[in-house]
Amino acid sequence: MPITSLKNLLAPWYELEQDVVISGLTLDNRQLQSGDVFVAVQGHALDARKFIPAAIEAGAVAVIADDGDTQGQFDIEMRGNVPVISFPHLKSTLSELSARYYQLPSQAMTVIGVTGTNGKTTISQLVAQWIDLLGGKAAVMGTTGNGFLSALEPAPNTTGSALDIQAQLARFHSEDATHVAMEVSSHGLVQDRVKAVAFDAAIFTNLSRDHLDYHGTMEAYAEAKLRLFTHYGTSVSVINADDSVGAEWLRSMPEAIAVSMTESGVAFHPGRKLWLTKVEYATSGVSISFDSSWGASSFTAPLVGEFNVMNLLLSLTTLLGLGYEKTALMATASQLQAVIGRMEVFHHPDKPMMVVDYAHTPDALEKALLALRRHCESKLWCIFGCGGDRDTGKRPMMAEIAENLADQAILTDDNPRSESPQLIVEDMLKGMSNPDDAIVLHDRAEACRYAFENASKDDVILVAGKGHEDYQVLASGTIHYSDRETVQALLEGDV
């Protein structure tokens, strides 16, 4: 049960003379219910302190307000009978404050954090699936939604607000979750949104160009990710040794577990390790053999692509590190399922294979195309776009990759937001040696239809960028659109 006393809630930081009974915390005055505490944070784009009068009018029994991180002193001002408490460094303390309100829910479950540029969603859901298959009850938090896998609820951000995270963890605990697999974004780490989460295990997938519009440099981006392994005292740290950043970290983290696609990739590491010894690819999935500090074994899983082999190995290693038996993991691996919108295969007899993937970075697109080349008997198509109001530097890079690795590139729109779709495509075309060979169709459904109608049954069509998303963000607003729905309809002859 949450704490219902404001005095008790604030006890570690401030001794309140008069107590107030509280029924909830909220960051949004529009969602405030009578009896709630309004937490007014001074954000990057919005200062919620200007909504304090509206929150009081709506029935807030108290306000905890950001002091702007300037004075460093607690202060209290009564507005009528409502205490407005000026709280120093509120942004960086909000995770701890929220965790205290919900009675430290992460400490009552096993929490696994997954960070890196690509693979977070797939790994978190593979880990959750495997735990469920072995008798646990796992929830996930991340890009495709929060909740148990059978009933995910949409999430606006990969990592929610500090308050939202603790509220979700408390709900999972109340619904008897034993484990939570959480995607942890670089933004969430830098902004202290997971500061009070008790992580038992941390997984690093890889680091490639993304979010430079926020972090500025790759070094700052890497430093943000590293925080998950240096600031949380996790007992199990699993790191992709094939990634140059991961290999560098491992040299100063002998207690971490190294994972590689080759034995030589982990040879330098003195600690525990796991490496691939053999892999076979088929349209039905992958067959994997490995050796490790836990011994050697093999398994099959219905996922496609080389990077999904690494995703499976990282997931497996984490569960071994947490104490799961290797034989039980091997026995259930074949029951794992592909994650929606992550190298998700749509295939009907005598029609081209279509694959929907979330790849929206240069590295992810390259890996997706290289992975599908192994499954492609004829021509490989690539449909992709680049987001508006985001890192413009990756646009020509992604186009160059598509031109080099696919037989036919189709440039389309992918959440152009406030930018001109034509100008985004112009940026992309600059990365191509032969831009006239590219096909430009701004409507994604039309782009998918063109590829489908012009491909042979032995071709493979990658539809990259949106994955699980069921919307397109335009300058005029957000509309419903799903690559998955489009592809399914094409294959079933409904369009």
Residue 305 labelled as part of a binding site: no
Q: Report the alpha-carbon distance of residue 441 to residue 445 in Å, rounded.
A: 9
Residue 35 labelled as part of a binding site: no
Q: What secondary structure letter does DSSP report for 211? A: -
Residue 116 labelled as part of a binding site: yes
CA 334 to chain centroid, in Å, comes to: 24
Residue 27 labelled as part of a binding site: yes
Residue 120 labelled as part of a binding site: yes
Residue 193 labelled as part of a binding site: yes
Q: Report the alpha-carbon distance of residue 219 to residue 221 in Å, rounded.
A: 5
Residue 26 labelled as part of a binding site: no
Residue 191 labelled as part of a binding site: yes
Q: Report the alpha-carbon distance of residue 16 to residue 394 in Å, rounded.
A: 51
Strands 477-480 and 471-474: antiparallel
Q: What secondary structure letter does DSSP report for 27? A: S
Residue matched to tokens 């072995």: 134
Estimate the crossing angle of helix 444-454 against helix 483-491, to 10 degrees: 30
User: Which residues neighbour 8 within 8 Å (Cβ) at sequence distance 6 or greater?
Assistant: 19
Residue 119 labelled as part of a binding site: yes
Residue 297 labelled as part of a binding site: no
CA 163 to chain centroid, in Å, comes to: 18
Residue 110 labelled as part of a binding site: no
Give DSSP secondary structure letters for 87-115. Answer: ETTHHHHHHHHHHHHTT-GGGGSEEEEEE
Residue 185 labelled as part of a binding site: yes
Residue 146 labelled as part of a binding site: no
CA 208 to chain centroid, in Å, comes to: 14
Residue 159 labelled as part of a binding site: yes
Percent helix / strand / coil, the chain, rounded to 5: 35, 25, 40
Handedness of CA 473, 477, 482, 483 (dihedral sign): negative
E strands of 128-256, at which residues?
138-142, 145-148, 179-183, 201-204, 236-240
Q: Report the alpha-carbon distance of residue 89 to residue 94 in Å, rounded.
A: 9
Q: Are 432 and 399 in contact (CB under 8 A)?
A: yes
Nearest one of 53, 485, 71, 136 to 323, comparing CA atoms? 136
Q: Report the alpha-carbon distance of residue 128 to residue 149 in Å, rounded.
A: 8
Residue 390 labelled as part of a binding site: yes
Q: Report the alpha-carbon distance of residue 294 to residue 308 in Å, rounded.
A: 21
Residue 240 labelled as part of a binding site: no
Give DSSP secondary structure letters for 377-422. Answer: SS-EEEEE---TTS-STHHHHHHHHHHHH-SEEEE--S--TTS-HH
Residue 206 labelled as part of a binding site: no
Q: What are the backbone dihedrals phi and psi of residue 249, each rounded to the nearest 5 degrees, phi first?
A: -60, -40
Residue 117 labelled as part of a binding site: yes
**How long, in residues, is the chain?**
495
Residue matched to tokens 């939202």: 164
Binding-site sequence positions? 27, 116-122, 157-159, 185, 191, 193, 390, 414-417, 465, 469
Binding-site sequence positions for ATP? 116-122
Binding-site sequence positions for meso-2,6-diaminopimelate? 390, 414-417, 465, 469
